[in-house]
Homo-oligomer: A and B are copies of this chain.
Amino acid sequence: MSDLLERLRGRGWRITSQRRVVVEVLDGDHVHLTAEEVHSRAALRLPEISRATVYNTLGELVSLGEVMEVCTDGRAKRYDPNARQPHQHLICSECGTIRDVHPAGDPLGDLPATERFGFTVSGVEVTYRGLCPSCARPLG
């Protein structure tokens, strides 16, 4: 993840303690935090960090292609640091847990030219829905 900070510096980012902490909070696999969650975790290390800065930083990471926005059913967007590796999501309809899963093939290839209607197709998002093992297990 320090690779990420280096890349960002190379792109002209000014490295501040706030940005460093946000990037650190996002580190890891299967991380899909809301902006609010990023803020509260960042605040553990940097108590005065503001929500506005967290939103700004997340927005910049997204437009630089370093982080992906994930729209689940819920209200708040989630932020996925695993943007540089193609993957898909498996979401539990009951508890909202999100797991990264990896494609068997290239889903882009599944859209035949006759179904492209002249669009230049550049990406695809795939979200599987179901029940996680805990939620599928009968109660009691």
**Contacts from A to B (Cβ < 8 Å):** 69, 71-73, 88, 90, 92-93, 99, 101-105, 107-108, 110-112, 115-133, 136
> Given A124-B128, A125-B126, are A110 and B103 also a contact pair (CB < 8 Å)?
yes
* Copies, count: 2
B110 touches A121 (CB 8 A): no
**A116 partner residues in chain B, CB cutoff 8 A:** 90, 101, 130
The residue from B69, B112, B126, B130 contacting A73, defined by CB atoms under 8 A apart: B69
B136 touches A129 (CB 8 A): no
Chain B: minimal CB distance from A74 (Å): 9
Identify which of A101, A108, A131 gathers the most chain B CB atoms within 10 Å of its CB.
A101
Chain B: minimal CB distance from A73 (Å): 7
B99 touches A104 (CB 8 A): no
Q: List 19 A-B contacts (CB under 8 A).
A: A71-B71, A71-B72, A71-B73, A90-B115, A90-B116, A90-B117, A93-B122, A104-B111, A108-B128, A110-B110, A118-B132, A119-B128, A119-B132, A119-B133, A120-B130, A122-B130, A124-B127, A125-B127, A126-B126
